[in-house]
Amino acid sequence: MSQEQCGPGDHDPGQRRALDGVRVLDLTHQVAGPSATLMLAYLGAEVVKVIAPGSRDSYDAIAFYLNNASKKSIELDLKSGPGVATARELAKRADIFVENFSPGVIERLGLGWDVLSGLNPRLIYAQVKGFAADSPWGAFPCFDPIAQGFAGASGITGEPDGLPMKPGPDVGDTGTGMVLVGGILAALYQRERDGRGQRVEIAMTDQVATFMRIHFGWPIERHMDTPRFGNRPPFLVTTAPSDIYPCPPFGPSDYVHIHCGSDRQWERMATLMNREDLLGDERFATMVSRGEHKAEVDAAVRGWTATLDKIAAMKALGDAGVPAGALRSTTEVLADEDMRERGIFVTVDDPGRGPVTLPGYPVRMSRSPARVTPPPQPGQHTAEVLRDWLGEGWPGEGWPGEGRPGEEQATTKGQVIRNAPRPPASSRP
């Protein structure tokens, strides 16, 4: 795929995106916050990421690269008075402000909700924290593994007799950012009706807890902790086959995951394996009885999967109407030509790295293709953004350099900020 994430012939690359004209001031870092602003950028918003002058290390890290595509970058020294003043002026002209500093930092910088909402009553002010601000743990720092453990996800992950284990995907980080986008867009839509912005808050621990929705069925219905199931489904009643089964050449990722969720699917499975003899056996007549004789069912299934590679097994099962999927490594998934053709992975031409393939936006919109472009270089858009947002006179005299507007400058700069034009309301969301 090219830098425009869309299927061949599906979209006109020049057409408007869903969030064209929406301005986002991005003061996020790490993963949770940048995941939210990344989705907004993919949807067409102008996302301006603020970084400290000379902050190169995080830009060179691949984790940063994967979370900051399609954004612009400006340098501001938020530890200086002029830098904070500039950030406030940008916030006056923003539609959305997003931050995920440690608890209390954004307020100490003078960029808290009370300040910015007073300057811009239409602002959607979004925050990501590890723990809810009004919880007993609100002042504590947090990362994804902490959130997943505290919210119960690690407690239900792993083998039944093994240790709790953090789930592999960044449910606490990326999951929180993506859920936050829903709240941001709802607030933006509400602003269309009443003209008022609002504060939108999410805690990683709260998001993970609600993400596990069906897993609370155990304590609700059975008054007991949800067990760890390994690769089996978290059902109140065990069934089979429902697990991963090895396939040749029996490497670390050579498995197929099979789940027969009904008696009819089991009948199809047994027929596919040429094991119709199992269908007349009372031990395998129902989902419950198959769960009670899981070892025997799994042995039969493993005998069949040992004859097919994982893709061939998946195809045979899918064609027969049995839910199944090959277990793939990240390298295999990244190389999937079908996913690339559909824009799930997008190759961009980066001036420093060359062609790089990035995860794209998984939702396909018939009139609004996602926009995927390379992440910016540090401060790449400083002069452009300051002039576009704050007026043609910006940055003016007194700056030590257009790439470092957060450093000390002449006092006349404040007049330039105050007199900077704001686009008419009719042209903004």
- pLDDT digits 0-9 by tens, 340-361: 999 999 999 998 889 999 999 9
* Catalytic residue chosen out of the listed positions 173, 206, 243, 254: 173
Whether pLDDT at 12 is above 50: yes
Sheet with 242-246, side-by-side order of all strands? 242-246, 255-259, 324-327
Distance CA 348, CA 139 (A): 40
Distance CA 103, CA 376 (A): 28
Give the amino acid at 429: P
Percent of the chain with pLDDT over 70: 87
373-395 confidence digits (pLDDT tens): 999 999 999 999 999 999 976 65
What size, in residues, is the chain? 429
Please give the domain boundaries of the chain with CATH numbers for all domains. Answer: 4-211+352-427 (3.40.50.10540), 242-334 (3.30.1540.10)
For position 374, what pLDDT does the model report?
A: 94
Instruction: Take residue 230 and report the two structure tokens written for it.
Output: 């390994």
Distance CA 182, CA 314 (A): 34
Asked if residue 274 lies in contact with residue 327, where contact means CB atoms within 8 angstroms, the answer is: no
Of 33, 415, 52, the residue nearest 200 (C-alpha): 33
Indicate the SS3 state at residue 144. Answer: helix
Q: Give pTM, 2 decimals.
A: 0.88
Q: Is 338 a catalytic residue?
A: no
Distance CA 81, CA 122 (A): 24
121-169 confidence digits (pLDDT tens): 999 999 999 999 999 999 999 999 999 999 999 999 999 999 999 999 9
3-state secondary structure 291-323: HHCHHHHHHHHHHHHCCCCHHHHHHHHHHCCCC
